[in-house]
Amino acid sequence: MRLKLPAGCIPNLRFNFFSTERHASTSATEWRRVISEKNASINAFVYTCPPPSTSGSTLDGVSIAVKDNICTENMPTTCSSSMLRDFTSPYEATVVDLLRKTGADIIGKTNCDEFGMGSLNTHSIHGPVVNPYNLYSATETQPRSAGGSSGGSAAAVAAGMCYAALGTDTGGSIRLPALIVVLWGVVSFADSLDCVGVMAATVPDVARIFDPTAATAAIRERAAMSLSQRGFNDHKTLGPSLRIGVPQQYFPSEMSPSIIHPFRRVMSSLVAAGATVIPVSLPSTSHALSAYYVLASAEASSNMARYDGIQYGMHVKPPHGSDATKTANVYAHTRSAGFGSEVKKRILLGTYALTADAFDNYFLQAQRARQLVKDDFNSIFRLPDFYSSAALAGENADGVDVLMHPSAIRTAPPLSSTANSDIDTYVQDVLTVPASLAGLPALSVPCDTAADGEAADGWPIGVSVVGQWGSDLLVLKVGELIERLRS
């Protein structure tokens, strides 16, 4: 698929993913002016709304974009699907409501893969999102993918069209676009995996918007106390006491050399700052990707069942002469027209996995694999899982504080190469789905591109930081440390 850029684009304009020339104090009018100038060539926003009145609250005037599968009362929520093309939610998502109460300017809705199903943001009725990095460079002849499924949110932040953006992550849908950049109110894809996250230009910007609302106050307090005892209150003093695990299974043969060399430089800088790097093994990682696609598709097939054209979603009348007394005939025409190819594919896979003949061999096996992945993580972290009874066992003295690994196996692919690359697209999730299966906090931080002689293609890569359940703030602090060392 080739994407023709619209006429009138400024030929020498370049967007820098690592630019910090955006401020919370930028006026609401200025943000919207930038969107009107840039969005035609990037396709990040699908809807924008007028600026709100000022309130004097914590985030007063801070411009935040919202992925199009997160419900908003005053804007459409289409999930980038024909099925919900005309849908506007009667209620606000919890996360959006919390941001509005703190004065945030919810500037608009961003493009995404249909119902969050995809890794390249090409499965959308609004068209693909174009990666703004080097968009008009003389050496870049083809537009590249912004990643997915939260590609619109990532591109909006990267192109300077908003201060921060909300996305949803099921198996890497925030972390994959981020390297190239409470569930009430989120339209479901896979309920046990879906979560809302923040995308911004710097880790402190993410921390400003972030609030771990999914954890109770008691659990947060227990985790914070353990981290405080380790001296993890300031990212400037993290290095000397930080133990970083590097999982050996996160360097598959498919990984590009242009990913490995910059990752090694990041690790070397952390070692120089006093951190201890420890090789670790997560043996169940090899089962994670298969388990993820079985479980996510099974949950998707169940959640998509509600869109029958009668209770929810668009309605397509059966053709004249068809037997309308059969429910299947009434549903089939609506669902065939309303869902895109990727959603249909996952519904079929998930429905098969839940059939009586396949349930034991696929769905139950995937659930067992998921538990093995969780057990692997629990065995190598120093801190216990504060959400489970395992917390009573205390700390693992030989464990690590965080894990670090490359965020993806390759840089952003050209949009023209994504049309017939389903398997490659799924493999792109191989490094992000384990943390999603285990329900762990994870952060993707941009790092320098590969240098000359390192198979460099000039495109950005990311380093992922993964922490134990409840250690969200530690993950953010480690991300800040990486940024500080990089600058």
| Residues tagged active-site | 67, 149, 173
**HEC letters along 62-101:** CEEEEECCECCCCCECCCCCHHHCCCECCCCCHHHHHHHH
User: How far from 268 is each of 189, 250, 405, CA to CA, in Å?
Assistant: 39, 18, 13
Q: How far is CA 397 from the centre of its chain?
A: 32
CA angle 154, 459, 263 (to 5 degrees): 95
Q: How many CB atoms lie within 10 A of CB 204?
A: 13
Three-class DSSP category at 292 = helix
Q: How far is CA 347 from the centre of its chain?
A: 21
- Tokens at 208, concatenated: 């400003």
Query: Do residues 69 and 79 lie in contact, with contact meaning Cβ atoms separated by under 8 Å?
Result: yes
As a whole number of angstroms, the distance between CA 326 and CA 122 comes to 35
- ∠ Cα 15 465 263 (to 5°): 65
Find tokens 């023209």 and name the residue: 416
Instruction: For residue 138, give every residue at least 6 positions away whose Cβ sits within 8 Å of its Cβ, in sequence order, or none.
Output: none
DSSP state of 311: S
d(CA 322, CA 340): 23
The answer to whether the Cα torsion of 210, 170, 445, 181 is positive or negative is negative
- For 294-310, b/e burial (b = at least 16 CB within 10 A) is bbbbbbbbbbbeebbbe
Question: Hey, what amino acid is at 256?
Answer: S
What CA–CA distance (Å, rounded) separates 477 from 390? 25
| Cα–Cα distance for residue pair 58/55, rounded to 1 Å | 9
Whole-angstrom Cα distance, residue 461 to residue 259?
Answer: 7
